[in-house]
Every structure is written in structure tokens, then in C-alpha cells.
Amino acid sequence: MTSQQKAPAESATQSLRVQGAASTALYGLIKGDKTKATVVGTSDDTVWMEADDRIVAVTTRDFTRWPIAAHLDPAAGADLGPGIVPSDQVQIGNGRIMFTELSVEIAEWWDPRPALAATTVDELARRVLGLPGDIPGISSEMLENALESRSAGGILHAARFLLGKGPGLTPDGDDLLMGALAATRLLGEAIGNDRTIAMMAGISTPMAQLAEARTTTFSAALIQAALRGQVGKPAGEFLNALSGRGSLAPSHLKLIRLSHTSGPALAAGVVLGAKALTVAAAE
């Protein structure tokens, strides 16, 4: 064991214990038998790790509620601390995520797949009218055309030009694609478009493979979640509003303000996917 490979928290007698909440997408992993995870990255407020070929994030940002994440209870006043570094070993299981000096007991769960209201193409077109579906520096025309024509091959081709485009854990091109995929999946179901639902099922595996090969590990995991209709809380609220359940302008603004780049790109992707659905359904 190297100096940076600290033993899991179970061996630390003074481990701080706090409560947290997690996505139901992680339920089987967290509630199952203990398994080892390895930290693969950190930031000021987030640690992400790999466990059983899956990426799991632990964060202090409870308002994001990523579909692959758990967050610490804000009332606990705990942070993840600078002592957690890549290659550290973590234990996950029996309802806990256990770092060397911090044990997070999951006491609450959220569903990352928003339950949209049934709606019509005309209603969706009215709600999405006038909302921006692009962002500076990222060309979305190829993806937009492919979605409008329901071309599975075209969507995969467009993804090759978007994946990994831009800096950061979730590059702008990834966020745009993520929003469009989630919107197409969820709003396609909300309007009852069987052709769109079948198309999304068909591109799921090759799109996941593309993401794994062409962008960051964390971003690829979020794209795979988007293919299943699983999104963070702000994106879920905006998608709900587009289906007629919730306030449209406030939820759109909240998503845009999520971060300097990811929020606007995610919002633009959701709008692009929603607009493309209204065009495809009219053909």
C-alpha cells in the first residue's frame, strides 16, 4: 500500500459519521454488500470514484442531485476535505460510503428520472417557443438535423463532433448532447412518440461506447444516465415544466445558473431536443 492509498474508513476509529442522500440509481450498489471503490478525481466540493465499473460521485452540493451521486447533509456542516486524493480506497455498501476519515450513511433517496406529465406536441411547441437552443462556440446544427429526422446514425455522427468539446469534467459539447438526449427520451415518452422511444433505445449502447472513448469518465457516466432519462435536479425541474408540470421561466433560469458553462449548455440541449421533437412529430 502506498502512502496515498489509505485504508478504508472501517479501520479508522475516529471516523466522522454524517448522514446523506443518494440517487436511487445507486441503490443496489450502496445497499448491497461492501465493495471497494477507488477515488479517481476530486474538486473542492466533489469526490468521484469507480466501483464495479461504475462512476459514483459524493458531493456537498445538495442542489445539483446528479443521477450518479450522493450528497452530504448540509446540516451536518461536514466537508470532504483536502485529504482525499486519487487512488484512495473507499468502501461502499450496507447503506454507507466510507472514506478514511468520513463515513456517510445514506438516509434519504431521490429518483433521478423525473415523472413528466403527459402532453401534446402542440403544447410542447408552445412552451419551448423562443427559448435558446444553442450556445456560443458549439455547433448544434448537425445534432438538431439528426434529431428532427430521427436518424440514429446521424445522431451518433453528430455526437462524435460534440463529445469532449470544451474544457472541464463535463465539456460544453457533452452538456449540450446530454440535455438533448434526456429531453428526447423523456419528452418523447411524454408525447407518446413510439418512433422516438424506439430510436433512443437503439442508440443507447453505441452512444455509451462513444462517450467512454471520447470524453471524461465522469461526463461519460452522466451521458449514460441521460440515455436512461436520469438527470440532475435542476434539469429535471426544467423538463417537468416543459411537460406542463411546474413553472417554465424560473426552472429554465435555475438550470442556466447551475454553473458558468454546464448550466447554459444543458439548458440549450434540453431546448434543442424539445424543439426537434415538435418538428419530427409534425412530419
Residue 2 lies in a domain: no
- Does 28 share its domain with 163? no
pLDDT over 60 at 4, yes or no? no
pTM for the full model? 0.91
- Does 138 share its domain with 221? yes
Residues 16-35, mean pLDDT to the nearest whole number: 95
pLDDT confidence band for 282 (50 / 70 / 90): low
Contacts of 55 (CB under 8 A, 6+ apart): 40, 48, 49, 68, 217, 218, 220, 221
- Does 106 share its domain with 204? no
- Does 92 share its domain with 153? no
Residues 180-203, mean pLDDT to the nearest whole number: 96
Write down which residue in 110, 131, 166 finishes a domain. Answer: 110
φ, ψ dihedrals at 9, nearest 5°? -60, -25
Write down which residue in 84, 110, 136 finishes a domain. Answer: 110
Residue 3 lies in a domain: no
Strand-pairing partners, residue 110, are: 23
pLDDT confidence band for 258 (50 / 70 / 90): confident
Write down which residue in 110, 142, 167 finishes a domain. Answer: 110
Residue 4 lies in a domain: no
pLDDT over 90 at 150, yes or no? yes
Report whether 138 contacts 270 (CB < 8 A). no
Residue 138 lies in a domain: yes
- Does 38 share its domain with 89? yes
Q: Which amino acid is at 253?
A: L
SS3 268: helix
- Does 214 share its domain with 273? yes
- Does 245 share its domain with 213? yes
Sign of CA dihedral 168, 53, 181, 271: negative
Q: Which amino acid is at 135?
A: I
- Does 82 share its domain with 128? no
Q: In this predicted model, which residue has the larger pLDDT, 2 or 158?
A: 158
pLDDT over 50 at 158, yes or no? yes
pLDDT confidence band for 44 (50 / 70 / 90): confident
- Does 95 share its domain with 193? no
* Number of domain units in the chain: 2
- Does 234 share its domain with 271? yes
Strand-pairing partners, residue 135, are: 138
Burial class (CB in 10 A: 0-12, 13-18, 19+), 44: exposed
Q: Tell me: the pLDDT tens digits for 64-94?
A: 899 999 999 888 777 787 788 999 999 999 9
- Does 90 share its domain with 185? no
Residue span of the structural domain in which 147 resides = 121-282
Residue 155 lies in a domain: yes
- Does 28 share its domain with 150? no
Q: If you average pLDDT over every residue of the chain, what do you get? A: 91
Residue 224 lies in a domain: yes
